[in-house]
Amino acid sequence: DSGVTQTPKHLITATGQRVTLRCSPRSGDLSVYWYQQSLDQGLQFLIQYYNGEERAKGNILERFSAQQFPDLHSELNLSSLELGDSALYFCASSGRLAGGIGELFFGEGSRLTVL
Amino acid sequence: SQKIEQNSEALNIQEGKTATLTCNYTNYSPAYLQWYRQDPGRGPVFLLLIRENEKEKRKERLKVTFDTTLKQSLFHITASQPADSATYLCALDGGRNTGFQKLVFGTGTRLLVSP
């Protein structure tokens, strides 16, 4: 158990809909990372937050947005869903920021299926 | 463009042998390189981190080398066991150019250890 909690574990929805994925980091970790993993693209970095502020952005679509709240949990919002958005979405947390990235602790993921 | 390459073909070895996995990268100057293990449908689990000024790191049956001139890391599992069967991912931070806070993953190499 990594200590990172993601909900929901599974989600099935239709094209055009909007969903919210939630992540609670390990106790004390200030950094939260979001990744998308699909079969053909591997683990793709989406976005990173540190103590409520966005710190790094990857290949995140404009239809996707995220935020980190004062209690450090984070949400990833996916809107106008397309079939290609079907993937596993992972959240990870880390305690370190200065000088580089330490190890990431990953949650078990949220599997999104868009029909 | 930046690339992290891992052998997409599965590596099949016999129990007791040493497994060696390769990670090559281009157009990165990472401060750190990390290795993770991922089981099907699960989140990646951190294994080892090696810094740019370190040549080798060991942890139990695991050994990682990091050659910044060749832009390559080798990951070794000695005395491999069937329980080591999984996908192994290497990951680099963005470094001085792209940013330390992005941790970018390779697509992983699947290791199969047969009894």
Phi, psi for residue B97 in degrees, rounded to 5: -85, -50
Please tell me which of the candidates B43, B99, B105 has its beta carbon nearest to residue A42.
Answer: B105
What are B37-74's pLDDT values in tens digits?
A: 999 989 999 999 998 889 999 999 999 999 999 999 99
Inter-chain touch A45–B34, beta carbons under 8 Å: no
**In whole numbers, what is the pLDDT of chain B averaged over residues?**
90
What are A4-42's pLDDT values in tens digits?
A: 999 999 999 999 999 999 999 999 898 899 999 997 778
A67 lies within 8 A of chain B by CB: no
Inter-chain touch B105–A108, beta carbons under 8 Å: no
Question: B8 contacts in A (CB within 8 Å)?
Answer: none
Inter-chain touch B103–A104, beta carbons under 8 Å: yes
Please tell me which of the candidates B41, B89, B103 has its beta carbon nearest to residue A101.
Answer: B103
Inter-chain touch B43–A107, beta carbons under 8 Å: yes
Please say whether the beta carbons of B76 and B20 come within 8 A: yes
DSSP string for residues in B60-112? TTEEEEEETTTTEEEEEESS--GGG-EEEEEEEE-HHHH-TT-EEE---EEEE
B115 vs B1, more confident: B115
